[in-house]
Structure 1
Amino acid sequence: MSYQDKSEYTSINTDQGKLFIVATPIGNLKDITLRALEVLESVDWVAAEDTRHSKKLLQHYGLNKKLISLHEHNELERRNELLALLNAGEQGALISDAGTPLISDPGYHLVNLLRQEHIQVEPIPGPSAMIAALSAAGLPTDRFSFEGFLPAKKQKRLHVLEGLTQESRTMVFYESPHRLLESLATFVAAFGNDREIVVAKELTKQFELFFSGTVEEALRFFETNADKVRGEFVFILKGAEAAEPNAITDADQLIQLLLQQALPVKQISEIVAAHLGLKKKAVYQRVLEIK
């Protein structure tokens, strides 16, 4: 067990170094915070996902820092090197290519190790594509879930989305341009044509865009506007509406009736879903529960 109180650092060895988790701009370079600049100027080194990309950012602000590569392919090995530097009393910063580190970016294994070793880790909050998109999407934000990037393969992607069809919270996804149309088509397959979605691209940049509509409308829009399929995308999907109590009661009664006829579970779920306008996957699970 460890306990970190900034006023006392009860179980933190203050003779050791410190790692700052520094959020950097997702597009507009003016979005960096004054505190982030102060920290980046003060540290001994900066661990970055892409050192070439991060070097341009640092040079833009006149910062000449030692850059250490830390990405998904070398993090498990590199974390021990960084631990040694911090144990030697050095101060370091972790940044990603854009936004807040660890949010669909490398850094978890490093931070997890440092916490186990009681090395101080301090967040320097700032830009996040997820939060920026949510704040301007116009969908409910009182409860939401972050789903990150979906699987690249179609069937795995569909399986993940089908498992979310009854999720009532607003859902946030990241997507790359080369999979945009495939992913939107999978959203249509999983959620139907009419689920509300907001697709945000190039946040804080010159060609920032917010598209609001149904998942089918979003797919058609980007199919017919190939010039818009560029940059990084955030999907904000409206959660499922809560089922009416009468619909639940009616479904249970119909399921029980069909079970008495010794029909297969799959067939029962298809009949009930079609008759009451419910999701097949949810009905299938309910049939199993009642059976």
Structure 2
Amino acid sequence: MKALQDVAISTRFAALPQQQTGHGGARTRSWIAPGDRLGDSTFADATPVERWFQIAGVEVDAAPTARAIVALGDSITDGYGVKDGSHQRWTDGLARRLSTHATTQDVAVLNHGIGGNCLLAECSGTNALARFDSDVASQPGVRYLIVLEGINDLGALGRERVATPEERRAHVARMVGGYAQIVARARALGLKVIGGTVMPFAGNEYYHPDAAAEAARQAINVWIRTPGHFDAVIDFDQVVRDPARPDRLLPAYDSGDHLHPSMAGYRAMADAVPLTLFAR
């Protein structure tokens, strides 16, 4: 099997599962068919579904030098807006770049983005801090962690009412504390932990962020950029923002909802990651 090659996994259930886990934002097609079809390579009468079921990960044998990056994030890492099966998430682009360089071709990228996820709050799925053990610490071969979380925490605070200045300050302080805990836990495992700055989202109609939300985002990014807080920083904010309106995504990098990147935006994010961070 070659690097970056697609994998087909067939699973048979003796009876309908009483419970099922699924990834609604998989951007990849599954096929469902009745009967024992483990030996069927065509699945001619199967029903296509745009999500994954039951499978949480795939472990493979690898060379002793193999290493992995965990990308811990929300829908921007999950790949919201990416066409199904096209592998155009920013993590996919990063994996392709890593595979073409001799010093990084043994580095894998584990996409642990969950659409709607938050750093601390229970938004969609378990929050990033609470899933650190399962999604980071327990992953075989992990050596690096990229954290790109926080936009949903910032947006949710003022979505249904105007937050007070005191609430904003306390919210920023809690988020900073959450980042610091993730950094400390990653360093305790010997991981290099890399912070991704929170990207602009002014104009988004779901969160409708105001000037106070933008000031909070700027405060978070100042903390992320401060030397010593993370082992390194990928300034995604600087990459995708509109220089003329830095609280907004550059139009070419905007999917249209003023929060999620376009395909060009995801490519720009992938290209902005310095491969020297992961070189042997």
Bin for the TM-score computed over the shorter chain? under 0.3
Hey, which of these two has a bigger chunk of helix by percent? 1
TM-score, structure 2 as length reference: 0.27
Name which one, 1 or 2, has greater alpha-carbon Rg: 1
TM-score, structure 1 as length reference: 0.26
